Amino acid sequence: MPSSPIVQAELPVLRQYLLDLFCQVAYQEGDFTLSSGQRSTYYINGKQVTLHPEGGAVVGKVLLSMLPPDTQAVAGLTLGADPMVTATSVVATYEGRSIAPLIVRKEAKGHGTQAYIEGLALPADTPVVILEDVVTTGQSALKAVERIRSAGYRVTQILALVDRAQGGAELYQQQQIPFQAVFSIEDLQKHWAHLHP
**What pLDDT, on the 0 to 100 scale, is given for residue 139?**
92
CA-to-CA dists, residue 106 to 18, 39, 89, 146, angstroms:
28, 23, 21, 11
> Which domain range does residue 146 map to?
6-195
In a domain, 1, yes or no: no
Pairwise CA distance, residues 10 & 61, whole Å: 10
pLDDT in tens, 20-65: 999 999 999 999 998 778 889 999 999 999 999 999 999 999 999 9
Output the pLDDT for position 1: 44
Residue 143 placed within a domain: yes
**pTM for the complete prediction?**
0.94
Q: Which of 33, 129, 44, 32 lies closest to 80 in space, CA to CA?
A: 44
How far, in Å, are 6, 17, 52, 87 from residue 36 at the CA level? 34, 29, 25, 26
User: How many structural domains comprise the chain?
Assistant: 1
Residue 18, Cβ neighbours under 10 Å: how many? 24
pLDDT for 37? 81
Instruction: Tell me the C-alpha distance between 72 and 169, whole Å.
Output: 23
| Domain-embedded: residue 53 | yes
> Are the C-beta atoms of residues 135 and 163 closer than 8 Å to each other?
yes
- Residue 3: per-residue pLDDT: 46
10-residue stretch averages of pLDDT, the chain, 197 residues long: 72 97 96 85 96 96 98 96 98 97 86 80 97 94 96 98 96 97 98 92
Phi and psi at residue 120, to the nearest 5°: -65, 145
CATH code, domain carrying 113? 3.40.50.2020
Q: Does residue 112 belong to any structural domain of this protein?
A: yes
